[in-house]
Structure 1
Amino acid sequence: MTHHATCQHGAYRLTCQDYDDLWEHAGGKCEICRTSAAETPHGKLFIDHAQEYGFFAVRGLLCSKCNTLMRYVDRGEKSDPRARAYLANAWFVRLLHARHAGNVVARRQQRVSA
Structure 2
Amino acid sequence: MARTLPDHEACGHTLYRLSCDQYESLLAESGRGCQICGLPSSEMPDGKLYIDHGGAPGNWPVRGLLCISCNSRLKHGMAFSPKAGRYLEDAWYARQCRQLGISIDGRPEPPAGTAVQDNFGNFWVKELSFWQQIRPNKAGRKNAYAWTGLNALCGPFNLHPVDCLGNVTLPLGDLEAVAHALRERLPAELMHHLGRLLQSQNHLSVN
TM range (shorter): 0.7 to 0.9
Amino acid corresponding to residue 89 of structure 2 in structure 1: A
Confirm whether residue 45 of structure 1 aligns to residue 49 of structure 2. Answer: yes
Instruction: Describe the superposition over 1:11-58 as per-residue Cα deviations: whole angstroms up to 9, x where unpaired.
Output: 011100000111111111000000110022332101000054321100
- Measured after TM superposition, the shift of residue 6 of structure 1 is 4.6
- CA 1:51–1:85 in structure 2 vs 1: closer, same or farther (change >3 Å)? closer
**Which residue of structure 1 lines up, in the alignment, with residue 22 of structure 2?**
18
Counterpart contact for 2:74–2:80, Cα < 8 Å: no
**Which residue of structure 2 lines up, in the alignment, with residue 4 of structure 1?**
8
2:66 to 62, 70, 75: 62
CA–CA distance in structure 2, aligned partners of residues 16 and 37 of structure 1: 18
Counterpart contact for 1:29–1:35, Cα < 8 Å: yes
Amino acid corresponding to residue 66 of structure 1 in structure 2: C
Confirm whether residue 34 of structure 1 aligns to residue 42 of structure 2. Answer: no
- CA 1:80–1:6 in structure 2 vs 1: closer, same or farther (change >3 Å)? farther
CA–CA distance in structure 1, aligned partners of residues 90 and 45 of structure 2: 25
Partner SS, residue 92 of structure 1: helix
Q: Percent identity?
A: 37
Structure 1 gaps, min length 5: 102-109
CA–CA distance in structure 2, aligned partners of residues 85 and 6 of structure 1: 30
Confirm whether residue 71 of structure 1 aligns to residue 75 of structure 2. Answer: yes
Partner SS, residue 74 of structure 2: helix
Bigger helix fraction: 1
Counterpart contact for 1:7–1:46, Cα < 8 Å: no
- Measured after TM superposition, the shift of residue 99 of structure 1 is 1.2
**Which residue of structure 2 lines up, in the alignment, with residue 95 of structure 1?**
96
Partner SS, residue 101 of structure 2: helix
**Which residue of structure 2 lines up, in the alignment, with residue 107 of structure 1?**
none
CA–CA distance in structure 1, aligned partners of residues 57 and 22 of structure 2: 18
- CA 1:84–1:7 in structure 2 vs 1: closer, same or farther (change >3 Å)? farther
**C-alpha root-mean-square deviation of aligned residues, in Å?**
2.0
Partner SS, residue 60 of structure 1: strand
**What is the TM-score of this pair, normalised by structure 2?**
0.44
CA–CA distance in structure 2, aligned partners of residues 6 and 37 of structure 1: 15
Counting matched residue pairs gives: 99
**What is the TM-score of this pair, normalised by structure 1?**
0.77
Bigger strand fraction: 2
CA–CA distance in structure 1, aligned partners of residues 65 and 30 of structure 2: 7
